Amino acid sequence: MSVFADPAIDLAPAEVAARLAAGELELVDVREAYEWEAGHVPGSRHLEIERVGWQAETIDRERPVAFICRLGTRAGLVAQAFRAVGYDAYNVEGGFSAWFAGGLPREPEDATVAPH
């Protein structure tokens, strides 16, 4: 568990997968391009962490948003920042590593978890 873990905003990967499949939230992947290319969640949006601030207005304030990174630290910090300005924001607990380990959907077919 990360020292930045926050039970109020951390969602289990399986819950995020279910809510994403139901169209109940947007999933934004904040990892680097090489991490995204190695493997990512189908239906997620890629927005590298250094671009997330100036692209915030492109994220719907009226809909929950979850952020994902490799382990949950970067995404957790982003989720906290978005919550501070009024978004219904969450962090995918354990990040793409936990998503991958849980056998949840990913692409491409030969997806891997890239090191950071």
Q: Is 86 left (phi over 0), alpha (psi -120 to 50) or beta?
A: left
Catalytic residue among 25, 27, 52, 69: 69
- In 3D space, the residue among 45, 52, 13, 9 whose CA is nearest the CA of residue 28 turns out to be 45
The rounded distance, in Å, linking the Cα atoms of 107 and 37 is: 9
Q: Is 97 a catalytic residue?
A: no
Query: Which residues are known to be catalytic?
Result: 69
